[in-house]
């Protein structure tokens, strides 16, 4: 097992990894930017090194600065968390060449699954269900038109290098298709320096359901149920839950086995997530694989009673997974709400600043994954998420009641947060019925006022 891990991240996920390390008897080393010098997680880590100024490009994204700290601290492994360098194949390669384990999949799996067109091809080869669409990249407007005519409108044009909803255009007719095709290519060229795109049938008002996967280097592959992340705004998830109100035990098994089929075909190891869209009839279609631990992993931990960060570290160290598929049973219901320092009434504008007072809910079935404390100033340079509030109960109904209770106890003074919106969601009749899709927040909940 590793004796020391460097955490190439900040905030709540850095703290989550520190906690796993401590329970495993592994020393934790944080790297931080000048903007984070007062980060409360740094006091809990065993060591901390400042690696540069506030902008991520000169600190959390600067591979040479991180590797210098890794050398000085003499670590065995690097955990990238989520965001930043977590899905950067080059970084994984640099770690490999430096003799430091990258706590994530091998660089080739990151490369294949990180390119949406390549991931689509891998899914086709593995026999994973997809929406009708192109086998290869679409090189001309004429080709796009021919494909759209053969699969029927509406269609979606997606950047191969995109992901998380960037570089996409929906088209309901030929004129929109040609415009969308050119726009998607131009946007992708700027955003990703790669203008390749592909075309797929567009599924309207889908649910977003993702399968948590974990694999070791001994050929053990396990899925830890699904998460429903349909409540999003502009591709930013707000609420996640497990199990999905739309998924039966039979469908869970089918989706889980499908996800693992793809993972096996890529020789995938450590933690990963296969994203699917689910239609009203209960058909599921593969979208993409996230080759990192995700923000919402704790909802899966709660319903499967696993420690995914621990399992991820064990897998990266070459150990066997601490559980098998037979051990993983989905029980109870978990909900997570993301508490962001944002002004919901003003377009979710980030509201960094000083937390003047803080009272955190507790009691039965509550988990609070956060790095904040009273007196802490949230720097303006990074993500606005200040913590994740999770509840766990026997049923979905009880979990919603528990979340309302927990939110009512919460006191975060000095900044605006998404707590009032979450209270609204927890009292929403459609959410209570489990009847929401990926357009619900924008089209219904925010519009209703």
In the complex, the residues that contact ligand MV4 under the rule CB under 6 A are: 131, 156, 164-165, 200-203, 206, 208, 232, 235, 275, 277, 287-288, 438
CB of 81 to ligand MV4, least distance (A): 20
CB of 156 to ligand MV4, least distance (A): 5
Q: Please state the φ and ψ torsions of residue 145, each to the nearest 5 degrees.
A: -65, -45
Closer Cβ to ligand MV4, 102 or 276, answer by number: 276
SS (H, E, C) the chain: CCCEEEECCCHHHHHHHHHHHHHHCCEEEEEEEHHHCCCHHHHHCCEEEEEECCCHHHCCCCHHHHHHHHHHHCCCEEECCCCCCCCCHHHHHHHHHCCCEECCCCHHHHHHHHCHHHHHHHHHHHCCCCCCECCCCCCCHHHHHHHHHHHCCCEEEEEEEEECCEEEEEECCHHHHHHHHHHHHHHHHHHHCCCCEEEEECCCCCEEEEEEEEECCCCCEEEEEEEEEEEEECCEEEEEEECCCCCCHHHHHHHHHHHHHHHHHCCCCEEEEEEEEECCCCCEEEEEEECCCCCCHHHHHHHHCCCHHHHHHHHHCCCCCCCCHHHCCCCCEEEEEEEECEEHHHCCEECCEECCEEECCCCCCEEEEECCCCCCEECCCCCCEEEEEEEEECCHHHHHHHHHHHHHHCEEECCCCCHHHHHHHHCCHHHHHCCCCCCHHHHHHHHHC
CB of 229 to ligand MV4, least distance (A): 7
Closer Cβ to ligand MV4, 235 or 320, answer by number: 235
Residue nearest to ligand MV4 (CB): 438
Closer Cβ to ligand MV4, 60 or 276, answer by number: 276
CB of 447 to ligand MV4, least distance (A): 16
Q: How many residues does the structure list for the chain?
A: 449
Please pick, among 65, 185, 292, 402, the residue that the annotation labels catalytic. 292
CB of 442 to ligand MV4, least distance (A): 9
CB of 118 to ligand MV4, least distance (A): 15
CB of 232 to ligand MV4, least distance (A): 5
Residue 233 annotated among the catalytic residues of the structure: no
Positions marked active-site: 292
């Amino acid at each position: 097992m590793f004796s020391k891990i460097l955490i190439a991240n900040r905030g709540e996920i850095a703290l989550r990894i520190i906690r796993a390390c401590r329970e495993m008897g592994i020393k934790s080393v944080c790297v931080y930017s000048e903007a984070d010098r007062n980060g409360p997680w740094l006091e809990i880590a065993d060591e901390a090194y400042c690696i540069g100024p506030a902008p991520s490009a000169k600190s959390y994204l600067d591979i040479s600065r991180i590797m210098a700290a890794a050398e000085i601290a003499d670590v065995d492994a690097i955990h990238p968390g989520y965001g930043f360098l977590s899905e950067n194949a080059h970084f994984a390669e640099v770690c490999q060449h430096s003799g430091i384990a990258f706590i994530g999949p091998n660089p080739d799996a990151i490369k294949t699954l990180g390119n949406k067109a390549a991931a689509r091809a891998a899914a086709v080869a593995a026999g994973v269900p997809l929406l009708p669409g192109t086998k290869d990249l679409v090189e001309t407007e004429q080709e796009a038109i021919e494909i759209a005519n053969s699969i029927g409108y509406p269609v979606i044009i997606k950047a191969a290098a995109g992901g998380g909803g960037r570089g996409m255009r929906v088209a309901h007719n030929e004129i929109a298709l040609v415009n969308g095709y050119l726009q998607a290519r131009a946007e992708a060229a700027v955003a990703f320096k790669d203008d390749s795109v592909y075309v797929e049938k567009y599924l309207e008002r889908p649910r977003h359901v993702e399968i948590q996967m974990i694999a070791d280097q001994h050929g053990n592959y396990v899925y830890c149920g699904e998460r429903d992340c349909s409540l999003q705004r502009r591709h930013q998830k707000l609420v996640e839950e497990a199990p999905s109100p739309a998924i039966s035990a039979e469908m869970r098994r089918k989706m889980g086995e499908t996800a693992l089929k793809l993972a096996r075909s890529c020789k995938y190891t450590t933690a990963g997530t296969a994203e699917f869209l689910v239609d009203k009839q209960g058909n599921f279609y593969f979208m993409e694989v996230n080759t990192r631990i995700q923000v919402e992993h704790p909802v899966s931990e709660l319903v499967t009673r696993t420690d995914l960060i621990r399992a991820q570290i064990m897998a990266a160290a070459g150990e066997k997974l601490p559980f098998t598929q037979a051990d993983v049973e989905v029980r109870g219901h978990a909900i997570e709400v993301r508490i962001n320092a944002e002004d919901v009434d003003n377009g979710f504008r980030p509201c960094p600043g000083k937390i003047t007072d803080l009272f955190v809910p507790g009691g039965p079935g509550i988990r609070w994954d956060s790095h904040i404390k009273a007196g802490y100033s949230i720097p303006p340079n990074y993500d606005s998420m200040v913590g994740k509030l999770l509840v766990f109960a026997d049923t979905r109904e009880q979990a919603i009641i528990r979340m309302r209770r927990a939110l009512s106890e919460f006191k975060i003074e000095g900044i605006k947060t998404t707590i009032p919106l979450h209270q609204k969601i927890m009292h929403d009749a459609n959410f209570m019925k489990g009847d929401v899709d990926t357009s619900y927040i924008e089209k219904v909940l925010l519009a209703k006022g």
